[in-house]
Structure 1
Amino acid sequence: MSVANSVSEISPRPSIEGIVEITRADMDRVNALILSMAGSNVELIPQIAEHLISSGGKRLRPMLTLASARAFDYSGEGHVKLAASVEFLHTATLLHDDVVDESALRRGRTTARMIWGNQASVLVGDYLLGQAFKMMVEVGSMRALAILSNASAVIAEGEVWQLSAAKKMSTEESDYMAVIEAKTAALFAAAAEVGPVIAEAGEPAIAAMRRYGMALGLAFQLVDDVLDYGGSADALGKNVGDDFREGKITLPVILAHRHADAAEQQFWREAMEGGSNDDEALARAMELMARHGALDETKHRARAFGAQALEALDALADTPVRSALADVVDFCIDRIN
């Protein structure tokens, strides 16, 4: 077999190009609306909002809203405002997260808090939340408003829960999964659910898209957990090892600690609870994770949630939109392959 033939038989890596193309026209409208709604006579508000909005995120969550509405033949205008609302909820969460986590880098760029300070970042995040709710109300769907407002409350609850669990090696796996379901997966679920809601697609379709979004969000977060101990800053959107340095108890840490001997358990307590988390300690943590298969087990869990997300799509007709939504799952999981 020639080299050319061999290369041609290599399957292309999963991509989100399908959902990007399907939602391109609507995303242009969403982006214009985002810039408009992020405007203010208070100069600092558009400065900070633009800093984060233009930082290179894929805008996956609003694309889920647009695609899920299109999957059920929605023909109105409300999906654009709901998609912009979803992105504002996400952006506000990032601004607040970076303050809580004392992060210096977000998507490869200096965080807003490092440039303008914590107070301005929190307050601009609050402003974006207010604008998000304004757009939700304008859509006129009480159910969509209920779904997204509930997601906003659940996300905040997850943040508080994560803060209370930070640097505590007593955190159980069930607690951690509840945190990421609230903190990350809830918005994915809501973003996917509101599409069929405004399309009046029926309860089975609405439930299926919620299951899809929830499973995708859980897989997405577990993949990020793995990448923090073996990825790159470009892939992760922050410095590799940041979770470790911040004392975040993620699933790989919980699994490695579960199988640790007494000396290794002492290491984890000193690193995560005691702040002994320099580069040498990070290397030791990664060695222990490899020894006990913690990253491989986390990958396995992520793939299982990915399979659940794909299974949920069985409720959809076999269309290019469904294929694009499936590609999003494959793209997410492929980051750890």
Structure 2
Amino acid sequence: MSVNATPSPSAAPSPIHAVVADDFAAVNQTILDQLASRIPLVETIGQYIIESGGKRLRPLLVLLAARALEYQGDRHITLATLIEFMHTSTLLHDDVVDESHMRRGKATANDAWGNAPSVLVGDFLYSRSFQMMVEVGSMRIMEVLSAATCTIAEGEVQQLTNVGNPDTDEAAYFDTILGKTAMLFEAASHSGAILAGADERQEQALALYGRYLGLAFQLVDDLLDYEGDAKAMGKNVGDDLAEGKPTLPLIQAMAAGTPDQTRLVRRAIRKGGLDHLDEVLAIVKSTGALDYTRQKAEEMAAKALAELDHLPPSPYRDSMAELARLAVERKT
């Protein structure tokens, strides 16, 4: 699989990308260029996971944040690309940790090539992203992204320690998703703001926008695990339950359910697997846990929208607002 190939249709801009279409095309090409390696398997696996679908929201945030503050250079292309590499490396590692076999409707890299190559290519992408940070040439950005890397790793470890633990509460859940998901959203919009020379208030606003957007995005992900369409999502409904992950729908179902319902959900979390899937699905619906999770997602999206008031009006700001709305309306 050559890295000189044309980017796949999965990387094509959607309407939300329209205001930065040229920038996004440049990011796609830079991704292909930066995947170059003297080891063919690195290129093969790297391109496979990069082209396996996804909305490329994190690099999009870099582009929108920088352009919203009238950035006129070209380093935002490098920055957006390295953010995507950071994200892709975590996907490779996550699928190994979770023993996943399908992502976005395709076999995972670890399913296709094995765990060891997937982990090592993930390491390559992380390493490449730090090379590109040096190219961006901002110590502030390097500080933000290196700190984010540590927080993301901590979030993943925290999620692992929560597996099979029905005593995980809502505060612990939010702390986990802040680290494992929202932090890279925050780092993307925050670093784009720094690159554009934002003032202190704008920088804070864009960092918080990314954080709240990331939280909303993960809340909807966890919601869709219990009410989504498997074919549309590209993964199986109930995957989180099968892995024993106590996400918010389960945490709220235990808080709002009857003693019998709570005992069943606790048992399902401890055991993992799908033996109790139908019963758990009925419980999360009847207790209002899915509505509760969606409400929390909408609250986070509203907070993200509020932070945009600190930016000057522009088509880029409008796209960021639309992105916050789409985060909670999506079905995949």
Q: TM-score, normalised by structure 2?
A: 0.93
How far residue 212 of structure 1 moved from its aligned partner, in angstroms, is 0.5
Which residue does the alignment assign to 2:280? 285
How far residue 145 of structure 1 moved from its aligned partner, in angstroms, is 1.0
Which residue does the alignment assign to 1:254? 251
- Per-residue deviation, residues 135-182 of structure 1 (Å, max 9, x unmatched): 011110111111111111111100000000111001111001000000
Which residue does the alignment assign to 1:47? 44
Which residue does the alignment assign to 2:310? 315
Q: Which amino acid aligns with 1:242?
A: D
How far residue 276 of structure 1 moved from its aligned partner, in angstroms, is 5.0
Structure 2 counterparts to residues 88-127 of structure 1, below 5 A: 88-127=85-124
How far residue 58 of structure 1 moved from its aligned partner, in angstroms, is 1.1
1:24 is matched with which residue: 8, 17, 21? 21
Which residue does the alignment assign to 1:333? 328
Is contact 1:205–1:316 with CA below 8 Å preserved after alignment? yes
CA RMSD of aligned residues (A): 1.4
- Per-residue deviation, residues 295-315 of structure 1 (Å, max 9, x unmatched): 000000000000000000001
Q: 1:86 to 1:276 in 2, by over 3 A?
A: closer
Q: 1:130 to 1:233 in 2, by over 3 A?
A: same
Which residue does the alignment assign to 1:87? 84
* SS in structure 2 at match of 1:31: helix
1:200 is matched with which residue: 197, 210, 224? 197
How far residue 199 of structure 1 moved from its aligned partner, in angstroms, is 1.0
Structure 2 counterparts to residues 206-285 of structure 1, below 5 A: 206-278=203-275, 281-285=276-280
How far residue 71 of structure 1 moved from its aligned partner, in angstroms, is 0.6
Which residue does the alignment assign to 2:53? 56
Is contact 2:241–2:273 with CA below 8 Å preserved after alignment? no
Structure with more contact order per residue of length (Cα contacts < 8 Å, sep ≥ 6): 1
- Per-residue deviation, residues 202-253 of structure 1 (Å, max 9, x unmatched): 1111000011000000000000111000112354342221111111110000
* SS in structure 1 at match of 2:227: coil
Query: How far apart are the structure 1 equivalents of 2:119 and 2:38?
Result: 18
Q: Which amino acid aligns with 1:185?
A: A
* SS in structure 1 at match of 2:29: helix
Q: Which amino acid aligns with 2:269?
A: M
Which residue does the alignment assign to 1:294? 289
Structure 1 stretch displaced more, 242-251 or 229-238: 229-238
Which residue does the alignment assign to 1:38? 35
Query: How far apart are the structure 2 equivalents of 1:311 and 1:234?
Result: 34
Q: 1:320 to 1:18 in 2, by over 3 A?
A: farther
Q: Which amino acid aligns with 2:26?
A: R
How far residue 270 of structure 1 moved from its aligned partner, in angstroms, is 2.4
Query: How far apart are the structure 2 equivalents of 1:276 and 1:121?
Result: 25
Give yes or no for the alignment of 1:130 onto 2:139. Answer: no
Query: How far apart are the structure 2 equivalents of 1:100 and 1:174?
Result: 24
Query: How far apart are the structure 2 equivalents of 1:276 and 1:261?
Result: 22
Q: Which amino acid aligns with 1:302?
A: A
Is contact 1:82–1:139 with CA below 8 Å preserved after alignment? yes
Is contact 1:18–1:327 with CA below 8 Å preserved after alignment? no
Which residue does the alignment assign to 2:158? 161
Is contact 1:299–1:336 with CA below 8 Å preserved after alignment? no
Structure 1 stretch displaced more, 195-204 or 79-88: 195-204
Q: Which amino acid aligns with 1:303?
A: E
Is contact 2:244–2:273 with CA below 8 Å preserved after alignment? no
How far residue 256 of structure 1 moved from its aligned partner, in angstroms, is 0.4
Query: How far apart are the structure 2 equivalents of 1:213 and 1:236?
Result: 23
State how many pairs are aligned.
320
Q: TM-score, normalised by structure 1?
A: 0.92
How far residue 272 of structure 1 moved from its aligned partner, in angstroms, is 1.3
Is contact 2:249–2:284 with CA below 8 Å preserved after alignment? yes
